[in-house]
Amino acid sequence: MLFKKGAEASLYIEEWQGRKVIMKQRLPKAYRLPTLDEAIRTHRTVREPQSIHKAKEAGVPTPTIYLVDITSANIVMEFIEGKQVKQILNDLSQAKRRSLCRHIGVLIGRLHSHGIMHGDLTTSNMILTSHGKVFLVDFGLSERSNELEARGVDLHLMKRALQSTHYRYVKKCFEAVMAGYSEVVGRNTTEDVLNKIQEIERRGRYVSER
């Protein structure tokens, strides 16, 4: 059963070996040149489970991978029961929103300190379970890096996602994310990353501070 048609993959809910699973299928894009299309799909199908596994080592909840089929660009993984943070963040009380964002910051901090850049940190890619645990999903755009630049871009994306979808609470939410981040990576690194984010923003088109 088709569960969600995303940008680069379709997610199906299936039963697999008696378990409820997500089958993530990166179908060929007819609009893309076949050579390029295959390279992108293969690369991401390989990269995603690697990063998900690394994230677990870093202490970040991610779905368990059951099967990877590189030739058909197919991944079978655990189905995480819960709600997308995107759907609930705006309706939470101020205190709950802050603590959720702080927790998300902790998770990002853990990823970064283990050299994993998520690559698409939006609130659609965060799932809150009924036990209050936050799972990060969709590591298709993830990268391995220890560079400040990569961390800055990753968090800049988080900020942008808040700006476009949770515009009323951007400032407080992002501050909370960075507070959580700081708990893991320390104040000095957080300062450096914040400065980097500012630098990245200034590089963009039409920035009033520039």
Partner 1 sequence: MATLRKADSYCLGLESTADDFSVGILSFKGDILANEASMFMPETGGIHPREAARHHAEVAGKVLSEALRKAGIQQREIKIIAFSQGPGLGPCLRTGATAARALACYLQVPLVGVNHCVAHIEIGKLITGAKDPLTLYVSGGNTIVAAFEAGRYRVFGETLDISVGNCLDVFAREAGLRQKIGEPLGALVEKLAARSQNFVSLPYTVKGMDLSFSGLLSAAIELLNSKKYSVEDLCFSLQEVVFSMLAEVTERALAHTEKPEVLLTGGVAANKRLQSMLEALANEHNAKFGVVPKQYALDNGAMIAWTGILTYQHGLSTSIEKSFVKLKWRLDEVYAPWVGG
Instruction: Name the residue type at position 160.
Output: R
Interface pattern 93-122 for partner 1 (x via CB under 8 A):
--------------------------xxxx
Please say whether the beta carbons of 94 and 86 come within 8 A. Answer: no
Examine the residue annotation and report whether 120 is marked as an active-site residue of this protein: yes
The one catalytic residue in 37, 69, 91, 120 is: 120
Interface pattern 174-203 for partner 1 (x via CB under 8 A):
--------------------------x--x
| Residue 77 engages partner 1 in binding (rule: CB under 8 A) | no
Q: How many residues of this chain interact with partner 1, rule: CB under 8 A?
A: 36
Handedness of CA 115, 157, 87, 67 (dihedral sign): negative
What b-and-e string marks burial along 143-158, b requiring 16 or more CB atoms within 10 Å of the CB? beeeeeebbbbbbbbb
Q: Shortest Cβ distance from residue 153 to partner 1 (Å)?
A: 5
Please say whether the beta carbons of 178 and 154 come within 8 A. Answer: no
Please say whether the beta carbons of 8 and 43 come within 8 A. Answer: no
| Residue 91 engages partner 1 in binding (rule: CB under 8 A) | no
Give the CB-side neighbour count of residue 19, counting CA atoms within 13 A.
14
Q: Which is nearer to partner 1, 41 or 103 (CB)?
A: 41
Report, as residue numbers or ranges, the catalytic residues.
120
Contacts to partner 1 by CB under 8 A: 5-8, 29-33, 35-36, 39-40, 119-122, 124, 141, 153, 156-157, 160-161, 163-165, 167, 200, 203-208, 210
